[in-house]
Amino acid sequence: MIKYISKTLLFFTALNSFNPTLFAQTVKKLKTIVVDAGHGGTDYGAVGQYEHSLRSNEKDVTLGISLKLVDELKKQMPDLNIIPTRTSDIYQDPREKANIANENKGDLFICIHADSGPLQTGRRQVGSHTVTRYKITYKGKGRRKKKISTPYTTVEPLYEYYKLPIARNGTSVWIFAAHKTSDKLKAIMSESGQNESEFEIESGTDSTLNNFDFNSPEGRAIAQVYAKRYQEKSDWLARLVNDEIEKTGRPALGVNQRQKGIWVLQATKMPSILIETGFINNQADENYLNSEAGQTELAKVITNAVLKYKTQLENNNNQSTAAQ
Ligand SMILES: [Zn+2]
C-alpha cells in the first residue's frame, strides 16, 4: 500500500513537470560505464583504402582506443565499474552489445567508432603502349556497298587508377535521434536482459523505484520521462566530449543526430553516445587513430569529459538535496 502511494506520487510528479529534482532523487551516482569497441571479428567496419594507406581496420582501431579508455576510466574513477563489451577481436551482434550494457545496468554507454567517406578515384599515366585499331570505310553503293576495315597501329597512354584519401578529418559525437525517443522508450520498457518484468531505475536508494512496473499505464508515463531524460543526458555528455576534442586542436565536428538513428543507442536503457573518433580514409586521421599517442589522447579526452559529467551530476544531486 505504501508502495502504491509512492508510485502514484511519483507518477504525478513526473507528469506535472520534467523537474530535475525528480531525477536528482533517483540518480545519485554514476556507478557503471559500459565501453563498446565498435565492430569486431568478421565485421571489419571501415577500412583504410586510399593509396599508401595503412590498410587499417576500424575494428582494430576501436579496440585499441577502447582498451586504453577502459584503463584510463578505471585509473581516474577507481570506484566505478567499467565494463568493456569486448577485449579481443571477436564478432558481436549489435543486440549482444546492447545486452551487455543493459544486463550490467550501465549508467552510461560509450560506443567507439571510426568514420569513413566515399573515396574518389585518381588516374595517372604510367607509360604508353602500341595498339591496333581499325579504320572503317565503305566502297560501292546500294546493294553492292561493302565495308572495309583497315588496321593501323597507334601509341596510346597507359593509365593507372588509384584511390585518393578523403580531405575530411576530425571527431564527431552522435546521440540517439530525438524522434527515436519512442524506441528508447521500448528499450526501457522491454523485459530483455532483466530478471523480472520490472525495470530498475538508475541506481537509486529508493527501493520503490527499483520495483517499478513500467508496463502499467503510469509506468509508461514515467518511462517517457526517462527516455527524454536519457536524451538530455546523452546530449550533455556528447557536448562535453566535443569540448574536450576541441582543446586538442583536431577538428571537433559537433554533436549530431542521424535521421535513421543508431540502433545500439536506441536499444540501451541509459544515456548513450557514439564517438566517431576520426576518418580512417583521411591520411592524418588514420595515422592518428593507429598511433599510441593518438589512441592515448582520445582515451584521456573522453575520460576528462566523463569526469566533468560525473562532477556535474553529483553537484546537481547536492544542490537539489540542499534545496529540499
Ligand atoms: Zn563503425
How remote is the CA of residue 223 from the centroid of ligand 1, in Å?
A: 29
How remote is the CA of residue 227 from the centroid of ligand 1, in Å?
A: 24
Q: Which of 116-130, 160-174, 225-239 has the weakest average pLDDT?
A: 225-239
pLDDT the model gives residue 112: 98
How remote is the CA of residue 113 from the centroid of ligand 1, in Å?
A: 4
Residue 60 has pLDDT above 70, yes or no: yes
Q: What domains are there in the chain, each with its CATH number?
A: 2-117+167-323 (3.40.630.40), 122-162 (no CATH)
- On the 0-12 / 13-18 / 19+ scale of CB atoms within 10 A, 3 is exposed
How remote is the CA of residue 40 from the centroid of ligand 1, in Å?
A: 10
% the chain with pLDDT above 70: 78
HEC-encoded secondary structure of the chain: CHHHHHHHHHHHHHHHCCCHHHHHHHCCCCCEEEEEECCECCECCCECCCCCCCCCEHHHHHHHHHHHHHHHHHHHCCCCEEEECCCCCCCCCHHHHHHHHHHCCCCEEEEEEEECCCCCEEEEEEEEEEEEEEEEEEECCHHHCEEEEEEEEEEEEEEEEEECCCCCCCEEEEECCHHHHHHHHHHHHCCCCCCCCCCCCCCCCCHHHHCCCCCCHHHHHHHHHHHHHHHHHHHHHHHHHHHHHHHHCCCEEEEEECCCCCHHHHHCCCCEEEEEEEECCCHHHHHHHHCHHHHHHHHHHHHHHHHHHHHHHHHHHHHHHHHC
How remote is the CA of residue 207 from the centroid of ligand 1, in Å?
A: 38
**How far is Cα 105 from Cα 307, in angstroms, rounded to an integer?**
19
How remote is the CA of residue 174 from the centroid of ligand 1, in Å?
A: 12
**pLDDT tens-digit map of 279-322:** 999 999 999 999 999 999 999 999 999 999 999 998 887 665 55
How remote is the CA of residue 276 from the centroid of ligand 1, in Å?
A: 7
How remote is the CA of residue 4 from the centroid of ligand 1, in Å?
A: 45
- C-alpha angle 200-201-203 in degrees, rounded to nearest 5: 95
How remote is the CA of residue 130 from the centroid of ligand 1, in Å?
A: 46
How remote is the CA of residue 278 from the centroid of ligand 1, in Å?
A: 11
Residue 15 has pLDDT above 80, yes or no: no
How remote is the CA of residue 277 from the centroid of ligand 1, in Å?
A: 10
Q: Which of 77-86, 107-116, 314-323 has the weakest average pLDDT?
A: 314-323
How remote is the CA of residue 221 from the centroid of ligand 1, in Å?
A: 34
> pLDDT band at residue 257, thresholds of 50, 70 and 90?
confident
How remote is the CA of residue 240 from the centroid of ligand 1, in Å?
A: 21
How remote is the CA of residue 45 from the centroid of ligand 1, in Å?
A: 5
How remote is the CA of residue 182 from the centroid of ligand 1, in Å?
A: 24
How remote is the CA of residue 112 from the centroid of ligand 1, in Å?
A: 8
How remote is the CA of residue 313 from the centroid of ligand 1, in Å?
A: 29
Residue 269 has pLDDT above 80, yes or no: yes
